[in-house]
Amino acid sequence: MSFALAIFALCEAGSLRGTASHSQEHREGEKRARSQNLVWAPSDVDAPLPSLSQNPACDLSKVLMQAGASASELATNLERFTALERIVYKKFGRMGVPNEVNDGTFDYVFAFEEHHGGSVSQEYRSPRKGSYAFRGSGQDTGEVALALIFHPDMQTDYQMSCEGLDKRNGQLAWVIHFQQRSDKPGRTLRFPAPNGSYWAMLKGRAWISAEDFHVIHLETNLMADIPAIKLQSSAISIDYALVYNQSQKVGLWLPERIEAYWEFADRRVILLHTYTDFKLFVVETEEKIQKPREP
Q: What is the pLDDT of residues 199-257, one digit of tens each?
A: 899 999 999 999 999 999 999 999 999 999 899 999 999 999 999 876 666 788 999 99
What is the pLDDT, as a whole number, of residue 205?
A: 98
Q: How far apart are CA 133 and CA 44, in angstroms?
A: 31
pLDDT-wise least confident of 37-46, 87-96, 161-170, 283-292: 283-292
pLDDT-wise least confident of 18-32, 97-111, 118-132, 150-164: 18-32
How many C-beta atoms surround the C-beta of residue 124 within 10 A? 11
What is the pLDDT, as a whole number, of residue 268?
A: 94
Q: DSSP readout, the chain?
A: --B--EE------S-S-----HHHHHHHHHHHHHTTT-------TTS--TT-B--SPP-HHHHHHHHHHHHHHHHHHTTSEEEEEEEEEEEE-TTS-EEEEEEEEEEEEEEEEEETTEEEEEEEEEEPTT----GGGGS---GGGGGGGGSTTTGGGEEEEEEEEEEETTEEEEEEEEEE-TTS---SEEEEETTEEEEPPEEEEEEEETTT--EEEEEEEESS-BGGGTEEEEEEEEEEEEEEETTTTEEEEEEEEEEEEEEESS-EEEEEEEEEEEEE----------PPPP-
Confidence of residue 5 (pLDDT cuts 50, 70, 90): low
Residues β-bridged to residue 160: 178
Confidence of residue 137 (pLDDT cuts 50, 70, 90): confident
Specify the pTM. Answer: 0.85
What is the pLDDT, as a whole number, of residue 293?
A: 52
Confidence of residue 186 (pLDDT cuts 50, 70, 90): confident
What is the pLDDT, as a whole number, of residue 56?
A: 94
Mean pLDDT of the chain: 83
pLDDT-wise least confident of 30-34, 135-139, 184-188, 272-276: 30-34
Q: How far apart are CA 122 and CA 8, in angstroms?
A: 9
Confidence of residue 281 (pLDDT cuts 50, 70, 90): confident
Residues β-bridged to residue 279: 82
**Over residues 174-193, mean pLDDT:** 91
